[in-house]
Copies of this chain bind each other. A is one copy, B any other.
Amino acid sequence: MSTFPNVRFRFAAALALIALGATALTGQAQRRTRVELFFPNPPGALTLKCDFHIHTVFSDGLVWPTVRVDEAWREGLDAIAITDHVEYHPHKADVSTNLHRSYDLALPTAKSLGLILIKGAEITRGEPPGHLNALFVEQPELLNVTNNSAAVEAAAQQGAFLFWNHPGWKQPFEKPVWYAEQGEFYDRGWLKGIEVVNGDEYYPLAHQWALDRNLALLGDSDIHSPTGLEQAPGGPTHRPMTLVFAAERTAAAIKDALLARRTAVYWQNSLIGSEEFLAPIFYQSLELKNPEVAIKGTGTVLLQFYNRCPVNFELERDGALAEVGLPRTATLWAGRTSLLQLTGKSSSLSETRSLALPYRVTNLKIGPARALPVELRIKVAFSP
């Protein structure tokens, strides 16, 4: 709309001082609001919401780099890496292939919004080894060599954090194969993480490999379009994210946490990670409003759980208690208070007891087929 856009807004700002003005300016800033996703912090760390796999027009993406920052800020992220392909530039007839540009162009917007921007690049090869992301790489152009190992080594030598992207992609039934190339990169200490989630896909086998080989768990969007256009009707309302449990809110702390495998994945309505991180998220997200209740005989009582975090916790009963009957399943809805109904089993019990209600959270995955076990602790005054 403007030959000199900055001039336009400065002009408006000037007007604002002498008149009613400034609606354009206000409008511009006011269009941008941020959703806050609340995930509790584990002991001694901050939970940072990150997306480490993102494209722009500088490879095969469809938006300008600043858009990626704006989207990420609005969607509640703390850090992103723009990871344009090193070797693949379908827009090269029209757009520069300089591997530094997307980062450089996005940086001022990231600074103005306080979003951490990490320099990254996607090593893009046929299968095997497929694609790998290199984060914290300073000279992405050095990765542009023909030999696969040499490219990965060039990233490792820059101190990059390297992970395997969408490992099931192009494999029959999306099932990943651990090729010799991956073995080599892993054995040489270059490969340190793996996407267990990429976009709509979750790879259970990759999840198992991560557990067996101590790889950092990553879950990324791999967005090419504007994020609004990536969303299917009825689909999840957030992109996949990597939760990084970092000592502080800096790029350096994120790197340290990645190297220490201190991550989990937020995907659709689930969290994927180790019990060490998922258990505190679960317990600190919940506020039991009435931890001390009374049950008369075989009567009932309603426990009220407020769930602060954006994940609906899906509970499944995981044992039985002598004193009370428990619902087989229950959902503790995100951002709401939900009810759990207990039923007394005895007509004669007359005592106050501390109980630990045994459940597992089926959408908090500590392994490909393992749900987080939890205990909901309450005190019940039983009377006949």
Expressed in whole angstroms, the minimum distance between the Cβ of A318 and any Cβ of chain B is: 14
Which of A2, A10, A112 is most buried by chain B, counting CB atoms within 10 A of its CB?
A2
User: Does A188 sit at the interface, judged by CB under 8 A?
Assistant: no
Whether A333 and B33, one on each chain, are in contact in the complex, defined by CB atoms closer than 8 angstroms, is: yes
Point out the residues of chain B lying under 8 angstroms from A126, CB to CB: 3
Point out the residues of chain B lying under 8 angstroms from A13, CB to CB: 325, 343
User: Does A260 sit at the interface, judged by CB under 8 A?
Assistant: no
Point out the residues of chain B lying under 8 angstroms from A58, CB to CB: 94
Point out the residues of chain B lying under 8 angstroms from A339, CB to CB: 29-30, 32-33
Interface residues of A in 310-334 (CB under 8 A from B): 312, 320, 325, 327-331, 333
Interface string of A209-233 (1 = CB under 8 A from B): 0000000000000101111111111
Whether A166 and B1, one on each chain, are in contact in the complex, defined by CB atoms closer than 8 angstroms, is: yes
Expressed in whole angstroms, the minimum distance between the Cβ of A362 and any Cβ of chain B is: 14
Interface residues of A in 32-55 (CB under 8 A from B): 32-36, 55
Expressed in whole angstroms, the minimum distance between the Cβ of A232 and any Cβ of chain B is: 5
Q: Which one, A20-28, A140-148, A152-160, is touching chain B?
A: A20-28
Point out the residues of chain B lying under 8 angstroms from A328, CB to CB: 16, 20-23, 26
Point out the residues of chain B lying under 8 angstroms from A165, CB to CB: 1
Point out the residues of chain B lying under 8 angstroms from A23, CB to CB: 174, 328-329
- What is the CA–CA distance of A306 and B114 in the complex, to the nearest angstrom? 14
Expressed in whole angstroms, the minimum distance between the Cβ of A127 and any Cβ of chain B is: 10
Whether B233 and A333, one on each chain, are in contact in the complex, defined by CB atoms closer than 8 angstroms, is: yes
User: Does A150 sit at the interface, judged by CB under 8 A?
Assistant: no
Whether A31 and B229, one on each chain, are in contact in the complex, defined by CB atoms closer than 8 angstroms, is: yes
Known: A31-B229, A62-B63, A229-B70. A112 touches B336 (CB 8 A): no
Point out the residues of chain B lying under 8 angstroms from A11, CB to CB: 170
7 pairs from A and B in contact (CB 8 Å cutoff):
A1-B166, A2-B60, A21-B328, A29-B341, A30-B232, A34-B338, A113-B304
